Structures are given as C-alpha cells and as structure tokens.
Amino acid sequence: MGKRIGILGGTFNPVHVGHLRSALEVAEQLDLDELRLIPNARPPHREAPQVSAQDRLAMVEQAVAGVPLLTVDDRELKRDRPSYSIDTLESLRAELAVEDQLFLVLGWDAFCGLPTWHRWESLLDHCHILVLQRPDADSEAPQALRDVLAARSVSDPQALAGPSGQIAFVWQTPLAVSATQIRNLLASGKSVRFLVPDAVLAYINARGLYRAQN
C-alpha cells in the first residue's frame, strides 16, 4: 500500500482556523498519512507591506507544530518566481513512490477556476482532486469542467483508487473566516484572537504584522 498525501496550497496571509480545521478534517476523513500545507510565492509587489514570504511560512510552521497529520512544504517559496501547480505536482511526484496517492485539495471556487490554470488537463495525471464542497457554494462549474467531472468523478471520496486521475467531493461545514477579514481587523487595531492559533497570534504581535502604518 502506498502512502496517502494531501496537499493544500494557499497564500496563508495569514494562516487561520478555517484553513487548519478544513485540512485536519480532510486528513482524518480520508485517512491520509499527511496533509501538506504549501504556501504560494506571490509576486513581490503583491505581498502585504511588512509581511514577507518568510513570515507567511513561519506562521504556517507555528500553526501546525505538534499536529502530526499537518506538515508544511516550502518548495514554492524556494523558487524565484510564483510556481504553477503542475510544476509543484511534478516535483512532488519525483520524490514519491509510484503507488503513493496524491490528493490536491481545492475549495469549490478554486476548482471552478481550474480551466484557467497552466496545463490544467495534466493535473489529474499526477493527483486525485478533492473538492471541498460548501452548502453555500453558488457558482456553477464551467462546461469544460462538467465534461471532466462526468468522466472522472466518483461519489465516495474513500473509493478514489490508484495514485491519481479521479475527482471526489468532500462535504464540510465551513468556518466563515478569511485572511482578508483578519488583515482588516488587525489594520483597524482589533483583536484576531480565536481566529488564528495562539502561536500565530503571538508571532503577528511580536513582529507587528498587518498593523496600519503610521
């Protein structure tokens, strides 16, 4: 039996309980060996002022410390420009055994945007896709995706077979938390306690991140 590895990419600017609960629930529901959080590189002009890629990475590391199922993979930050997901998947695949299963975890909105991704039709050569479905999802999948869904989806995520190639939906009760909301609260001098783990809060406070500049 191969390993079962989930991956969740994001800017994590900053990481919050919405990301972490989702990641942990998927990992437990799908009986994964590991779920890797992969912070994305951003073009330098899109970084929030005072918050570097190293800070975003450090916060994710603090958030998952002591949670054996959740790990951090910094490969996208080691490149000198933002990575395509297909490149990340190819680089992960090169390190795994052929029978290992890779599960790319995407929110419904991200999934609907898939046809705009570089070489998107090759993604399923490397991984299965787990779509986090929310009771409040309102957008419709574009036609290109509906065709792929018709050919590749299985109704039971537990039944995803082989190392790659299928799509399944995972239902979760979402926590209505976003990084945008957290940045806005901090910029207006409010507390984000209980929206991020205490260790992340301590890091934000120690470094004075996301506060309005004088």
Rounded Cα distance between 43 and 32, Å, is: 32
169-198: which residues touch ligand ATP (CB under 6 A)? 174-175, 177-180
The answer to whether 37 and 70 are in contact (CB under 8 A) is yes
**Contact region for ligand ATP (CB under 6 A) — 8-16, 45-53, 119-127, 156-164?**
8-16
Asked whether the CA dihedral 57, 62, 63, 67 is positive or negative, the reply is positive
Tokens, residue 41:
């590189």
46-105: which residues touch ligand ATP (CB under 6 A)? none
Distance in Å, CB of 96 to ligand ATP, minimum = 22
Tokens, residue 202:
């301590």
Of the pair 20, 124, the CB lying nearest ligand ATP is at: 20
Residue showing tokens 């990419």:
9
105-134: which residues touch ligand ATP (CB under 6 A)? 106-107, 110
| 164 near ligand ATP, judged by CB under 6 A | no
Rounded Cα distance between 105 and 168, Å, is: 10
To which H or E segment does residue 102 belong? Answer: strand 101-107
13-42: which residues touch ligand ATP (CB under 6 A)? 13, 18-19, 22
Distance in Å, CB of 22 to ligand ATP, minimum = 4
Of the pair 161, 178, the CB lying nearest ligand ATP is at: 178
Of the pair 99, 171, the CB lying nearest ligand ATP is at: 171
Applying CB under 6 A, the site for ligand ATP has a residue count of 17
Rounded Cα distance between 141 and 17, Å, is: 27
Number of other residues whose CB lies within 10 A of the CB of residue 202: 12
Residues that bind ligand ATP (CB under 6 A): 8, 10-13, 18-19, 22, 106-107, 110, 174-175, 177-180
